[in-house]
Structure 1
Amino acid sequence: MRKRLALTALALATAVTAGLAAPATAARPDPVRKGLETLLRSDGAPGALASVMDRNGNVRTYTAGVGDRDTHAKMPRDGQVRIGSITKTFTAVVVLQLVGQGKISLDAPVDTYLPGLMRGRGIDGRHITVRQLLQHTSGLPDYEDDVTDDILERRYLSPRDALDVALGHETLFAPGAKYGYSSTNYLVAGLIVQKVTGRPLAEQIDKRVIQRIGLRHTYFPAPGETTLRERHPQGYRQESPGASLRNVTEIDPSASWAGGAMVSTDSDLNRFFAELLKGDGNLLLDEDQLNQMRTTVSMGKDGYNAGLGIFSTPLSCGRDDGRVAWGHNGAIPGYGTWAAATDDGRAASVSMTLEPKTGEAIKHLEEAMNAALCS
């Protein structure tokens, strides 16, 4: 049954360029289409979609598979998806804007802004800096695996409740000792934003990022909001290998909050990352703050480095000159996305409608994004 569904999805795969079918030949298949078909065939996603923008602003939009595996509805072109941890980049931008305004210091301890809040099993906010939060070098344990049921069962979890879950775990390592990815870092960063501005994080992201650069299809869900607001494909989750896919389009992402709650489209993500990396005329960050964002530490994998809310990853077409892509990936029940841009203005975002729960699926997302940037 699963094989038949995969073949049906591939038969329905489409690719669109400026409203017209994207050219592909037997001799040289389109690398982006090939990447999307891998997400369907190898990873079992019912659907996948992508948006690619060249340095001149020309856009190619792709879809593959179906938007609803039960009804076989078409995959909506540039439909909304939950972007998971790409939310972290939006949160980091707001923090860095506040750094530029002198309201936050990257090297100040967390206790400067949230006195006494960060105390736990080896956890002490007096010894963790804001920079370490944004760069995942704080040693804070990750809480997200503990709240998956809350997300799936549509239970609202406040940021403070989520922090209590995180503080129930022991610290992973001494602050600054090494890199260790943890969504708890961005939970705390979001609380700092709210403390220094006196306003909700969602409002700050909307005002300082979404409205500033005109992202028309991007938003931070309101408390208790479980549906997607615009055209979107259905999102799925597989509890274990071989299990039936479960439709998890409607969830409550509140537990992911500053580290994973947002909704966007591939084209909006391209616009966001292209603007973020732009030099002169950057509407999001000034030169000093962008340089801070792009100051990296090793992620423990050759060529992969972590900045402040952003990763640098090697480009397959940049092996000889060391060119990289700057971006972030995201996984949340229902969806997986990789979005990135290059210094010369190219941007690409690739999404799948199945939560990528294996390293292989995340690798395939990255490879599709990489192929798009190199095509």
Structure 2
Amino acid sequence: MPPPWTLRTLLAIPVSLTLLLTVRADLPEQAPAAARTAVTRVPDTALARLTTRLVTHGGAPAAALLADDRSGSRFTSAGNGISRSDHFRAGSITKSFIATVVLQLAAEHRLSLSDSVDDHLPGLVRGAGNDGRRITLRALLRHTSGLHDFTTATQGTVPVTPPQALRIALARPPATRGRFAYSNTNYVLLGMIVEQVTGHSYATEAERRIITPLRLTGTSFPGARTSLPAPHGRAYAADGSDVTELDPRVAGAAGELVSTLADLNRFYAALLDGTLLPSHRLREMLDTRAAHGSYGMGLFPVKLPCGTTVWGHNGRISGSYVRSAATVDGRRVLTFRVNTDGVTDPALEPALLAAEFCPRTS
């Protein structure tokens, strides 16, 4: 998904929204389970008001909010038919997982970010001015490769294999190499490179390196499975059609992931607090200079009006829009979702981020 300022206006259709916010307590992993159990408290007033606005002005007739911090847990909801434990399609949030795997492989010296695509997939990227000998893994991670986005042709609804996605992209001339241009093709290639380096699929590597160690029990790479795990709600396309059943191969390594709100918060907290990457690799991930502040590696920053910068990603796939954001130390994390392709009032997203991450003045 491109960053949220490119959201398009959607048709008014029946949707639901769930919002989860977490302020991470510094409890050791070995702490007794009882010590990590949250206590229900009254929801934050500002966030509750914004959740209501998402229902009344954001095109979502059902909404829910869950927050955890050192003093307990907050949950509120509006509308019916939605649960905090629902599984949903996370779209391009998948890129944060794939980037983490690639950076772990770099930390293990199994690849270098300065490697060219041809070093791992010789001769694969050729055509219409595209040349894999001149594209580094670092450029793929940062979306500065110039490769055309294959989903502009498939509209994110046609299942394709990675070779088919590449053929679509390579039929078009590249954008200016070295300039930030968001392209799902970059992460399809990274998925192929992970498999070439490890001998395992990107899904298997992400499960082994991230999902299992963090106990993300609601997170999976479904492959060609069109159904969502239980529990789940319904998902609607922009035209109102039910797209709960969806072939995830429309996105592959660029957007296949299925997850839950709690799992995404746990992942971004662990990523940003240094649990998943050595400190110098995490610094590389957060370096946005090559993309002129727009994008790091599988993460992008948003500077809020109060001066706080939050890091995370969004994800849009037919029937689902998700947004996760966190402080740079991972101690405070927010995830929200709607069960359609986007939020109809794009002003609500930055308002939610500011309400959670900017200091209270009253």
**Does 2:114 correspond to 1:107?**
yes
Unaligned segments of structure 2, at least 5 residues: 1-10, 23-37
Q: CA deviation at 1:150?
A: 4.1
Matched, 1:90 2:97: yes
Identity of aligned residues (%): 37
Distance change in 2, residues 1:366/1:81 (3 Å): farther
Conservation of the 8 A alpha-carbon contact between 2:128 and 2:173: yes
Tell me by how many angstroms 1:237 deviates.
1.4
**May I ask how many residue pairs the two structures share in their alignment?**
333
- Which amino acid counterpart does residue 365 of structure 1 have in structure 2? E
The secondary structure found in structure 2 opposite 1:246 is: coil
Cα displacement (A) at 1:165: 1.7
Equivalent of residue 338 in structure 2, options 339, 352, 362: 352
1:276 to 264, 271, 274: 271
Contact 1:87 1:261 in 2 (8 A): yes
Q: What does residue 71 of structure 1 align with?
A: none
CA contact (8 A) 2:238 2:319 kept: no
Give the 3-state SS of the residue equivalent to 1:325 in structure 2: strand
Partner of 1:130: 137
SS in 1 for 2:127: coil
Aligned to 1:34: 49
**Separation of aligned partners in 2, 1:207 and 1:371:** 35
In structure 1, the residue matched to 2:166 is 163
- Supply the AA of the counterpart residue of 2:334: A
Q: 1:366 offset after TM fit, Å?
A: 4.2
Secondary structure at the aligned position of 1:305 is classed as: coil
User: CA offsets, 1:333-365, max 9 Å, x none?
Assistant: 11111101113401110111111187x53x533
CA-based RMSD of the aligned residues comes to: 2.9
SS across alignment from 2:141: helix
Alignment-derived partner of residue 42 in structure 2: 22
Unaligned ranges ≥5, structure 1: 25-29, 67-73, 240-244
One-letter amino acid matched to 1:289: R
CA contact (8 A) 1:221 1:262 kept: yes
- Cα distance, 1:33 vs. partner? 2.5
1:342 equivalent to 2:308? Answer: no
Who is 2:88 aligned against? 81
Amino acid of the residue matched to residue 92 of structure 1? A
Kept in 2, the 8 Å contact 1:85–1:331? The answer is yes
Residue aligning to 1:242: none
What is the aligned partner in structure 2 of residue 27 from structure 1?
none
- Tell me how far apart the structure 2 counterparts of residues 108 and 149 of structure 1 sit (CA, whole Å): 29
| Matched letter for residue 373 of structure 1 | F
Q: Are 1:290 and 2:300 an aligned pair?
A: no
Structure 2 SS opposite 1:206: helix
Give the 3-state SS of the residue equivalent to 2:96 in structure 1.
Answer: helix
Question: Which structure carries more relative contact order (alpha carbon 8 Å, separation 6+)?
Answer: 2
Task: Return structure 1 stretches of 4+ with deviation > 4 angstroms.
Answer: 2-6, 13-21
Looking at structure 2, the residues matched to 168 and 195 of structure 1 have their Cα atoms a distance apart, in angstroms, of: 24
> Could you tell which deviates more after superposition, 288-297 or 89-98?
288-297
**2:20 touches 2:65 (CA, 8 Å); kept in 1?**
no
- The 3-state SS of whatever aligns with 2:133 is coil
Whether the 8 Å CA contact 1:83–1:260 is kept in 2: the answer is yes
Q: Which amino acid aligns with 2:238?
A: Q
Q: In the aligned structure 2, how far is the partner of 1:298 from the partner of 1:59?
A: 39
Asked if 1:311 is matched to 2:303, the reply is no
Q: Give the Cα–Cα distance (whole angstroms) in 1 for the partners of residues 71 and 97 of structure 2.
A: 22
Q: TM-score normalized by structure 2?
A: 0.83
Q: Deviations over 1:175-199 (max 9, x none)?
A: 21x2111111101111110110111
CA shift for structure 1 position 32: 2.2
TM-score w.r.t. the length of structure 1 is 0.80
Q: Which of 172, 177, 193 is equivalent to 2:175?
A: 172
Counterpart CA distance in 1 for 2:141 and 2:320 is: 23
Whole-angstrom CA distance in 2 between matches of 1:4 and 1:195: 43
Q: State whether residues 39 and 71 of structure 2, in contact with CA within 8 Å, keep that contact through their aligned partners in structure 1.
A: no
Please state whether the residue corresponding to 1:349 is helix, strand or coil.
Answer: strand
1:14 CA displacement: 11
8 Å CA contact retained: 1:16, 1:61: no
Distance 1:150 1:305, change over 3 A: closer
Quote the Cα distance in structure 2 between the aligned partners of 1:14 and 1:290.
27
The answer to which of 128-137 and 291-300 deviates more is 291-300
